[in-house]
Amino acid sequence: MWRFCDRAAAFGRVVHLTLLNQGVRMTVSMKLFSRAAALLLLASSLACARAVTRPDGGVGMLAVGATAPDLVGVDGTGKTTRLSELRGHAAVVYFYPKDGTPGCTKEACAFRDAWERYARAGVTIFGVSNDSAEKHQKFIAEHHLPFPLVSDESGDLARAWGVSTGLFGFSRVSFLVGADGRIAKIWPDVDPGVHATEVLAAAAP
């Protein structure tokens, strides 16, 4: 099954990019074939996501009640914040695919716009992707993000939290970590536009 998925994804990616890079014009049939390849690429990304085997031996996302694995984020001033040092306060850890993409930008800016309400409630936000620390700093500066981002280029954090990785980066999933350091709620497959308000309502009822 996974071998088929890998081959389908690779075929879709190569054909689609090859046709897009052909140059000036494509025939109608080539355009249709390119679109089909793009759809195959998307379908393989969505349908072939493997369930993550975590370092603790479990499979899939961490469950509510599990202890949240530690992580360290860096904000736009260079200040580092460690999740384990926030005991006594809630925190939001949201995984997302890629800096600068439309959905990820929309989600980050929604958290930014709600930041003052999060701060008043004593809730810290961490955004996690596999982008480099340098890309994170550019993303923070471009969109004036007031919260820390976590660079997980190795994917170790995603595996520890049980978050799957697709062709375009991590799956979009958010965790609410309670004041006791345990996972209080999970949001898989979120709507980037309304998610920040939804999470705040749960974090500071």
Domain with 198 in it: what CATH number?
A: 3.40.30.10
User: Catalytic: 109?
Assistant: no
Mean pLDDT of 151-177: 94
Q: 24 lies in which domain range?
A: 2-47
**143 and 108 co-located in one domain:** yes
With cut-offs at 50, 70 and 90, classify the pLDDT of residue 149: very high
> Of 5-9, 53-57, 98-102, 157-161, which gets the smallest average pLDDT?
5-9
Digit-coded pLDDT (tens) for 39-63: 444 444 444 456 788 988 889 999 9
**39 and 81 co-located in one domain:** no
**23 and 110 co-located in one domain:** no
- The torsion of the CA quartet 38, 40, 46, 51, rounded to 10 degrees, works out to -130
> Of 12-16, 145-149, 190-194, 199-203, which gets the smallest average pLDDT?
12-16
Q: Is residue 61 part of a domain?
A: no
Q: With a cut of 70, say whether residue 80 has pLDDT above it.
A: yes
**133 and 81 co-located in one domain:** yes
Phi/psi at 171 (5° precision): -65, 155
Q: Is residue 140 part of a domain?
A: yes
SS3 76: coil
Q: Is residue 27 part of a domain?
A: yes
**129 and 90 co-located in one domain:** yes
With cut-offs at 50, 70 and 90, classify the pLDDT of residue 195: confident
Cα–Cα distance for residue pair 49/126, rounded to 1 Å: 24
pLDDT at position 35 is 54
Q: Is residue 57 part of a domain?
A: no
Pull the structure tokens for residue 122: 């004593």
Q: Is residue 52 part of a domain?
A: no
Contact 96, 169 (CB under 8 A): yes
**125 and 26 co-located in one domain:** no
Cα–Cα distance for residue pair 205/202, rounded to 1 Å: 6
139 or 199, which is more confident: 139
Q: Is residue 53 part of a domain?
A: no
Q: Is residue 148 part of a domain?
A: yes
pTM of the model: 0.76
Average pLDDT, the chain: 81
**78 and 166 co-located in one domain:** yes
Contact 173, 190 (CB under 8 A): yes
Q: How many domains is the chain built from?
A: 2
118 or 38, which is more confident: 118
Which position among 5, 48, 104, 109 bears the catalytic label? 104
Digit-coded pLDDT (tens) for 98-148: 999 999 999 999 999 999 999 999 999 999 999 999 999 999 999 999 999
Would strands 80-82 and 91-95 be described as parallel, antiparallel, or unpaired? unpaired
Mean pLDDT of 76-84: 96
**76 and 158 co-located in one domain:** yes
Q: With a cut of 70, say whether residue 96 has pLDDT above it.
A: yes
Phi/psi at 140 (5° precision): -60, -45
> Of 6-10, 100-104, 147-151, which gets the smallest average pLDDT?
6-10
pLDDT at position 197 is 86
Q: List Cα–Cα distances, 19 to 6, 9, 22, 38, 56, in angstroms.
A: 20, 16, 5, 10, 43
Mean pLDDT of 149-155: 97
Burial 92-125, CB ≥16 within 10 A → b, else e: bbbbbbbbeeeebbebbbbbbebbeebeeeebbb
**130 and 181 co-located in one domain:** yes
